[in-house]
Structure 1
Amino acid sequence: MLKRSFMAILCGVIAAVGLSATTTVTAASAAPSCANVEVLFARGTAEPAPPVGLTGLSFGQALRGALPGKSVVVRGVNYPASANFRDRIGLAQTVINGVKDTQNRITFLARTCPQTRIVLGGYSQGAVVAGYAIAPRVTLPAQYRGSAPTPLPASVARNVAAVVLFAPPSARFLRDAQAPAIEVGPLYQGKTIRYCIAGDTICNGAPLGQPNGLHVLYAVNGDTVNAAGRVAARI
């Protein structure tokens, strides 16, 4: 019953957001251009509208509206947002690959487009990717340790205007999943905004479990608009 209602809500969210904005979204590996602002967004687990996902599309649209006269490019992190939780090692590797892709893009932009203001974002599993990308360290279990991402150079922090995490899995949720908690590095703490709908069991500290219907509402509940306003004030 929960799964059925969850899917019904998700379908409603897809209809509400619409997919017309996908024409303005490119993958993180696309040819570079120096926009005023680049949003680098990691979508949630199996979230529709890849590579950015519904939440990223909604946030990107809102940020464009909040920054009239500025060019805003929205790019999706190159990772599959896999839902294959039975293959823990494979899933962990896809997250690590997403973290490295995020860090590579930030470093690349800081070097080649130093005037571009970078906005890093992520939803759900994507918030883990974004959070790990700006962590001072990611301490992984022994079987993954050789693949652990290295911290970003401190010099690129000034290029990152803001970090927005929608429904970031709580420390308890990640601990139950045998994954490290999201630890935002000191250079990014004052730039980081987190959103968690009250009752969303992914981010509210509940034990590991399936998401409820509240977890898919970030694209339509006003949080992306609120986040865009707060981010625009930092650009």
Structure 2
Amino acid sequence: MNVRRAKSVLGSVILAPAALLAGIAGAPAAQAQPCPDIEVIFARGTGADPGLGFVGDAFVDALRSKVGGRSVGAYAVNYPAGFDFDKSAPAGAADAAGRVQWMADNCPATRLVLGGMSQGAGVIDLITVDPQPLGHYTPTPLPAHLSDHIAAIAVFGNPLRDVKGGGPLPAMSSTYGPRSIDMCALDDLFCSKGLSLPAHFAYVDNGMVAQAADFVAGKL
């Protein structure tokens, strides 16, 4: 796969409004009680095993070390994280949106943090970025009544930075921009004009996960 084809593939994320609404209507798996003070809702990257992914795990661990005695729960967005992005990404966006709605209904005092790596970053973009064309995709942001539940957003290796009309999440969301951090490693193949695949997997080692956790802790 050549570089431009690879970027095109990782940039191929689209959120169907019907899928989003379906996700909000459905109830994710029950949250253990009592409700945590903070919950991180994180979408793993393409091809990662179900769970938070290595970046998500490191981010949650770093955040827990920075919020004192407050409890931090974690929810792994339930989606395929596969290479058929036109199916995979909408499923992730619907599940993430559904989890936000469920937490707002059942744990209204819990502060929510949204996060994602690679395709997972695109999933989070698609429920937070303003509804404007990004390439040939149009995000559908979360309903306005959920905004106050979301304290911060942190994404890594975001492919929607590198599509026509795209850019870092803070510049693309009038609602969540000041609460967002969008980390793109130098020369990352998928979020910049760079050519480095190793850079795309370097967010823990290069300190950007810790930097994002500092930012998020400051919003909590």
Q: Which TM-score band applies after superposition, normalised by the shorter structure?
A: 0.7 to 0.9
**Distance in 2 of aligned mates of 1:92 and 1:138:** 18
- Quick one: which of 186, 189, 198 aligns to 1:198? 186
Confirm or deny that 1:106 pairs with 2:100.
yes
Contact 2:89 2:123 in 1 (8 A): yes
Q: Give, in angstroms, the shift of residue 165 of structure 1.
A: 1.0
Please list, as runs of the form range in 1=range in 2, the aligned pairs for 1:1-235 lying within 5 A after superposition: 29-32=28-31, 33=33, 34-48=35-49, 50-82=50-82, 84=83, 90-137=84-131, 150-172=140-162, 174-175=163-164, 181=166, 184-206=172-194, 212-235=197-220
Q: Give, in angstroms, the shift of residue 137 of structure 1.
A: 2.3
Number of aligned residues: 189
Identity score, percent: 35
Q: SS at 1:158's partner residue?
A: helix
Contact 2:134 2:166 in 1 (8 A): no
Which structure 2 segments of 5+ residues have no match?
A: 1-26
The alignment yields a C-alpha RMSD, in angstroms, of: 2.4
**Distance in 2 of aligned mates of 1:212 and 1:141:** 22
Contact 2:161 2:192 in 1 (8 A): no
Contact 1:170 1:204 in 2 (8 A): no
Deviations 1:136-169 (A, max 9, x none): 3265899xx9xx8743111111110000011111
**Distance in 1 of aligned mates of 2:37 and 2:161:** 34
Contact 1:134 1:152 in 2 (8 A): yes
Contact 1:96 1:149 in 2 (8 A): no
Q: Which residue of 1 aligns with 2:24?
A: none
2:43 aligned partner, one-letter code: A
TM-score in terms of structure 1 length: 0.72
Q: SS at 1:38's partner residue?
A: strand
1:157 aligned partner, one-letter code: S
Contact 1:38 1:118 in 2 (8 A): yes
Q: Give, in angstroms, the shift of residue 80 of structure 1.
A: 1.4
**Distance in 1 of aligned mates of 2:190 and 2:135:** 22
Which structure 1 segments of 5+ residues have no match?
A: 1-27, 85-89
Q: In terms of Rg, which structure is larger?
A: 1
TM-score in terms of structure 2 length: 0.77
